[in-house]
Amino acid sequence: MAEPATAEHLKRTPLYALNVELGGKMVPFAGYEMPVQFPAGILKEHLHTRAAAGLFDVSHMGQAFLRLENPTGDADARHAAIAALLEELTPGEIKGLKPGQIRYTLLLNDKGGIRDDFMVSRPNDAKFAGTLFLVVNAATKDADFAHIAAKLKGRARVERLEEQALIALQGPKAVEVFDRIVPGVAAMSFMTIAPFTWERTQLFVSRSGYTGEDGYEITLPANMAVPFARVLLADKDVAPIGLGARDSLRLEAGLCLYGHDIDETTTPVEANLTWAIGKRRKREKGFPGADIIMGQLFDGAKRLRVGIKPDGRAPAREGADIVDASGNVVGRVTSGGFGPSVNGPIAMGYVRPDLAKDGTPLGLVVRGQTLAAKVAPLPFIPKRFHKPG
């Protein structure tokens, strides 16, 4: 951001008044006033999401359509054209998206560093042929959309959805709760998007999330966000969840937080996000920093993101030095804290590749003391995404 966010500059989401009414402790986050927690507290909110369903206001995130300037041909031809453009900026397999499919991908800089991580969807409605739906991080959204618009100028345009709220409903009860309110959503597969109607309001429903749980992310007009959230919250299984629990949920799920676990200096290979590079893309290259990234894929990276589990009870926070058995600093913790479902401290960080194997003993320097820890497989908790039967 160009200037530090002060109270006067902070923006509010369409759910701001409801967040306050629900007792949300509002804090500045990515230029918005967001609830870090509700009266239940982070620990209970986290466990509630894993046991039932949590409602998250994620309206601060950036939503946009990427649209062809001059669409020609049938729906598949239009998709191929818009996908080819986005593929100039990302290593993901975008052309191969089927109608209604969502993919996690990365916006790269010319050195193969990560400008942002985001979700891209191919809408399943023919009238959207030649468009992609993008959801990017709040802190990076202005820069992301400006970058995409500049790079694709004259060929595609970014249409930001400023008047659309985004609500996530996550947890094992999310499906049955939401299907009672919007019949049909239970039939969706994970990582698909489809339009639904609720109270004569158009919803774009994604079966996706960032908590390690099954659930949905719902785009809807700002003026309907509060009534819609109230209907969800009226269900005894649904509780409002703040950013604090969102962070501990994604950390347990081994998911990266942009600006912490990944940034412009980390590549997809270093970040252990190689799976986000499409097979065809590896062959064809043609994405930013492809030479550097393919070189790392071939020769190995100098550092790798790993999960780390301290042996004891003390959490190691972001910024803590990681040391090897001889006490040499070999990396740094990029996310760390207490995992309520793990019921213990957990962390992620970067280490030398020879120290990246599961079970490798490491030390974490906390308040001047070196705490014993081990490299641990990610995620820290089993993922419970919905897989099509």
Partner 1 sequence: MSETRYTKDHEWVRVDGGVATVGITQYAAEQLGDVVFVELPKVGKAVEKGGEAAVVESVKAASEVYAPISGEIVEVNGAIEGEPAKVNAEPMGGGWFIKLKVKDAAEVSALMTEAQYQDYVKGL
The residues that touch partner 1, with contacts defined as CB under 8 A, are: 36-37, 41-44, 46, 244-245, 247-248, 313-315, 317, 337-338, 340, 345, 367
Nearest distance from C-beta of residue 363 to partner 1, angstroms: 17
Nearest distance from C-beta of residue 1 to partner 1, angstroms: 22
CA atoms within 13 A on the CB side of 80: 6
* Closer of 243 and 362 to partner 1 (Cβ): 243
Nearest distance from C-beta of residue 59 to partner 1, angstroms: 22
Nearest distance from C-beta of residue 115 to partner 1, angstroms: 27
* Closer of 92 and 315 to partner 1 (Cβ): 315
Q: Which long-range contacts (CB under 8 A, 24 or more apart) does 141-149 make?
A: 141/61, 141/62, 142/62, 143/115, 143/116, 144/62, 144/107, 144/115, 144/116, 144/118, 145/62, 145/64, 147/89, 147/107, 147/115, 148/66, 148/86, 148/89, 148/107
Tell me the three state secondary structure of residue 122: coil
DSSP state of 262: B
* Closer of 191 and 245 to partner 1 (Cβ): 245
Q: Which residues are bridge partners to 33 per DSSP? A: 28
CB 338 within 8 A of CB 347: no
Distance CA 85, CA 28 (A): 35
Q: Token digits for 270?
A: 């270093």
Nearest distance from C-beta of residue 240 to partner 1, angstroms: 15
CB 281 within 8 A of CB 112: no
* Closer of 174 and 316 to partner 1 (Cβ): 316
* Closer of 40 and 224 to partner 1 (Cβ): 40
* Closer of 138 and 251 to partner 1 (Cβ): 251
Nearest distance from C-beta of residue 51 to partner 1, angstroms: 16
In degrees rounded to 5, what are phi and psi of residue 351?
A: -135, 170
